[in-house]
Structure 1
Amino acid sequence: MLPPQHHCLHQLWSSLSTAEKDQLEHITRKLLTRLDQMEQEGTVLEALR
């Protein structure tokens, strides 16, 4: 089941240029990688307290 925002996100993604999509993908990967690192280090739990 898709979240209610799926349609809006799909429209937004479709309106981006290839360069914008690449940039957004790069930023997202960097953010998720950093969150994974923080989770492994235990800093995510500390930050949420």
Structure 2
Amino acid sequence: MVVVIYFSRAGQNKQYGVTQYINVGNTALVARKLAQRLACSVEALQTLPH
């Protein structure tokens, strides 16, 4: 069984020195493309709430 597992942080991120809100982190985008190429599933690691 092949699966791509990733951790990506969406939300407030700095891009070009400016704080911006993004819905999907860059790692998530790459993981989804990789899983599509490999024809496998993709799962995100989640942090526990405080």
TM-score (norm 1): 0.36
Looking at secondary structure, tell me which structure has more helix per residue.
1
* Greater gyration radius: 1
TM-score (norm 2): 0.35
Looking at secondary structure, tell me which structure has more strand per residue.
2
1 or 2 for the larger relative contact order (CA 8 Å, sep ≥6)?
2
